[in-house]
Amino acid sequence: MAGDVTKRTQVRIWDLPTRLFHWLLVFAVIVEAKTGFFGPANSLDWHVWAGYAIAALLAGRLIWGLYGSEYSRADRLFSALRHLPEHIGGLLRLKPKHYAGHNPAGSLMILGLILVLLALVATGLVVLGGTEKQGLLAGITPYDVAHLAKGAHQVLAYSLMAMVVGHLVGVATEMLLLRVPLIRGMITGWLPKAPHAASEILRPARPMLAALSIAFSALVVTAVALPLSTHKGLGVPAPVSNVLYVKECGACHWSFHPSLLPRKSWALIMGSLDQHFGEDASLSAEAVKEISTYLDANAAETADTEPANRLRGVSEAEPMRITATPFWRHQHDELPPQVFRSAKIKSKANCAACHRDALTGRFDDQNIDIPDTSKAGETQ
């Protein structure tokens, strides 16, 4: 029975918008997986833009689920679910029934994929807003909320990967058991007619209605997004500003942003300048006083960026070192030690050598730029 499948009449199952949606989504998810799981950190922009693309694709697809041609309609997914037990029974006997469009298991998978993708977009926006202080939610998302969302985003991302594997296994199973060329079908739109398909009235696409809905949604999104996008990031500190601080504490190294250590650590540093990491960095009493006041007023406790939140957890053994905090070590554990010793960097504390925005205290992923240290003879 399955053998004559190629001789059967071909029917148009997937219309063009659905096929475009499918393959653009595949591409966007590949970009997300590559940049999300494997980095590098400064590919965050790619990750974010692919995320916006997925949001737009999902919105378009949901609208097409209302106005698309028959097999693209959302209600078919729900009605197919009713046949799920029967379908699973057929699969277990290796004799599944051939359904036109998504089979019941496929329908379940599509619903799951769409839900997980929507949740990924939502948590992604929260993470971007609260940890990076970027994107639409930067002005209203506290770090703590984003930190929770980051956990969820990660669990969802792994779930999505598992579901993608499940989806591919499902497609392969149907292609093997029923000899239906599903991949070609998603490219051309045409598939062999299901043999026992009840004759049904196929609803045509309503492109005008779809276009109007998409235009209307775009207007609503713009109206919400525009005012949000002008907000200043919540708890983003001012760049290093105190002139005396820059002059004195910027003489031997870049002037560390005050939000990179908590008050207690700055007080320890300012109280021991004659024994400063193996050097004498002593200052006049007036200078110590002015700089201490500046550091105290702008210490990590006063900012809500990711570095300020995480670097507050200083190491007990070396509370004066940013580079000894568990967070700093974790962020930099993949960099080979000789990179830090290279002539252009020389010290782990030379943050500004790799982080172009160090003086702002933001430490955005996009502003990481490790100087080329590959030239021979530059390490010491």
**Among the listed residues 54, 191, 236, 291, the single contact to ligand HEC using CB under 6 A:** 291
**Among the listed residues 350, 367, 373, 379, the single contact to other proteins using CB under 8 A:** 350
- Interacting span for ligand HEC (CB under 6 A) from 17-25, 180-188, 194-202, 320-328: 320-328
- Of 325, 345, 321, the C-alpha closest to 335 is 345
Which of other proteins, ligand HEC, none sits in contact with 144, Cβ below 5 to 8 A by type?
none
Please give the single-letter amino acid code of residue 119: A
- Interacting span for ligand HEC (CB under 6 A) from 120-128, 152-160, 161-169, 334-342: 334-342
Q: Should residue 251 be labelled a site residue for other proteins when binding is judged by CB under 8 A? A: yes
Beta carbon nearer to other proteins, 137 or 353: 353
- Interacting span for other proteins (CB under 8 A) from 13-21, 23-31, 55-63, 250-258: 250-258
SS3 assignment for the chain: CHHHHHHCCEEECCCHHHHHHHHHHHHHHHHHHHHHHHCCHHHHHHHHHHHHHHHHHHHHHHHHHHHCCHHHCHHHHHHHHCCHHHHHHHHHCCCCCCCCCCCHHHHHHHHHHHHHHHHHHHHHHHHHHHCCCCCCCCCCCCHHHHHHHHHHHHHHHHHHHHHHHHHHHHHHHHHHHHCCCHHHHHHHCEEECCCCCCCCCCCCCCHHHHHHHHHHHHHHHHHHHHHHHCCCCCCCCCCCCCHHHHHHHCCCCCCCCHHHCCHHHHHHHHCCHHHECCECCCCCHHHHHHHHHHHHHCCHHHCCCHHHHHHCCCCCCCCCCHHHCHHHHHHHCCCCHHHHHECCCCCCCCHHHHECCHHHCCCCHHHECCCCCCCCCCEC
Q: Should residue 167 be labelled a site residue for ligand HEC when binding is judged by CB under 6 A? A: no
> How many amino acids of this chain bind other proteins (CB under 8 A)?
19
Alpha-carbon torsion, ordered 203, 207, 210, 215, to 10 deg: 180
Which of ligand HEC, other proteins, none sits in contact with 246, Cβ below 5 to 8 A by type?
none
Cα–Cα distance for residue pair 234/60, rounded to 1 Å: 31
Q: Should residue 77 be labelled a site residue for ligand HEC when binding is judged by CB under 6 A? A: no
- Interacting span for other proteins (CB under 8 A) from 25-33, 128-136, 206-214, 251-259: 251-259
Give the shortest CB-161-to-ligand HEC separation in angstroms.
20
**Among the listed residues 274, 293, 330, 335, the single contact to other proteins using CB under 8 A:** 274
Instruction: Scan residues 206-265 and list those touching ligand HEC (CB under 6 A).
Output: 248-249, 251-253, 256, 260-261
Give the shortest CB-153-to-ligand HEC separation in angstroms.
14
**Among the listed residues 57, 105, 339, 359, the single contact to ligand HEC using CB under 6 A:** 339
Residue reference for tokens 């993470």: 127
Interface pattern 318-347 for other proteins (x via CB under 8 A) = -------------------------xxxxx
**Among the listed residues 10, 229, 241, 282, the single contact to other proteins using CB under 8 A:** 282
Cα–Cα distance for residue pair 189/315, rounded to 1 Å: 60
Which of other proteins, ligand HEC, none sits in contact with 55, Cβ below 5 to 8 A by type?
none
Which of ligand HEC, other proteins, none sits in contact with 274, Cβ below 5 to 8 A by type?
other proteins
**Among the listed residues 350, 366, 367, 379, the single contact to ligand HEC using CB under 6 A:** 350
18: Cα separation from own chain's centroid: 25
Which residues of the shown chain bind other proteins in the complex (CB under 8 A)?
Answer: 251-254, 274, 278-283, 343-347, 349-350, 353
Which residues of the shown chain bind ligand HEC in the complex (CB under 6 A)?
Answer: 39-41, 248-249, 251-253, 256, 260-261, 269, 273, 276-277, 279, 281, 291, 306-307, 321-323, 331-332, 335, 339-340, 345, 347-351, 353-355, 363, 365, 368, 370
